[in-house]
Structure 1
């Protein structure tokens, strides 16, 4: 009889990232499943409820924040983390409220993911930046918050911000501003 392999679900629309993480986790003896869309993720989870999961915040057709509660409804004990290249304070807070055990900014590797999944408590010694965020960073985070409040609707977000829709789209295509 073989030892129990923990099931691990990777949900990300970046196929290269998925292959790399899948290979690294398989070497660590996880039973890894990969999904590139929300629909695939839910189907895979129904077939083999995961014990662990990484979910990309910005999927091509949806948001990892929308997927997270659905995944946890299927597998309530799943320890899930949100991964993103578009980090903001508001999405980090929402991810934790929705049941994620952690929130990581890409790029990440398998040791980063496993460490984040193993962390049972907060770290009171976490680094506190010497400088406050830049105005550009605060603007970026505010846009992300308003976008989230409007369920990703660009037109409604632009109206709320008093900004032209195309201007907002250009701002959203850029990478997050450094702190």
Structure 2
């Protein structure tokens, strides 16, 4: 299959994956679905996608190894990471591992296609002070610890010195998508 319109979607939410698949197919893409890194590996044995959309959190696993694997498979592939757990730390890691863009959920097909088109970056992006609240700093710290603990909520709660249920409640409150 030619990779110029072949899209790999790595998403464990079956309903969301099917919705994205149908939407991209209406736009002329051939779409492959994987719900785990293992499923991704099998598909990469026989397919060479030019595009990929990867969920940052695949069940209890991180989607970052999938980003790394896709980039290793084809460094020219345009990879967009979608997440309901957006943080600066995970955005930086995703880009370092080969993602071309990073979007917070909810994102639709238009947003994802626009992210594919913006893969080169914008050197004229305006710089300015970023006001940071205590809540934002807490949120970013929580996600840094989550990333460092491979998205294991129990381990992250232990490292943060809080009860697992408290952390789960905080994540549920701020989760997008």
Q: TM tier, shorter chain?
A: 0.7 to 0.9
Task: Give the Cα separation in 1 of the matches to 2:89 and 2:31.
Answer: 30
1:76 match: 75
Gapped runs of 5+ residues in structure 2? none
CA 1:136–1:4 in structure 2 vs 1: closer, same or farther (change >3 Å)? closer
Matches within 5 A, 1:147-158: 147-158=146-157
Contact kept, 8 Å, 1:8 with 1:31, in 2: the verdict is: yes
Gapped runs of 5+ residues in structure 1? none
1:25-78 CA distance string (max 9 Å, x none): 112211111112221122112221211000001111411112211222223322
1:100 match: 99
1:122 match: 121
CA 1:38–1:124 in structure 2 vs 1: closer, same or farther (change >3 Å)? same
Q: How many matched pairs? A: 175
1:66 match: 65
1:43 match: 42
Note the aligned Cα RMSD (angstroms). 2.4
Instruction: Compare relative contact order (CA 8 Å, sep 6+) and give the higher one, 1 or 2.
Output: 2
- Length-normalised TM-score, structure 1: 0.84
Provide runs of 4+ in structure 1 moved above 6 Å. 127-131
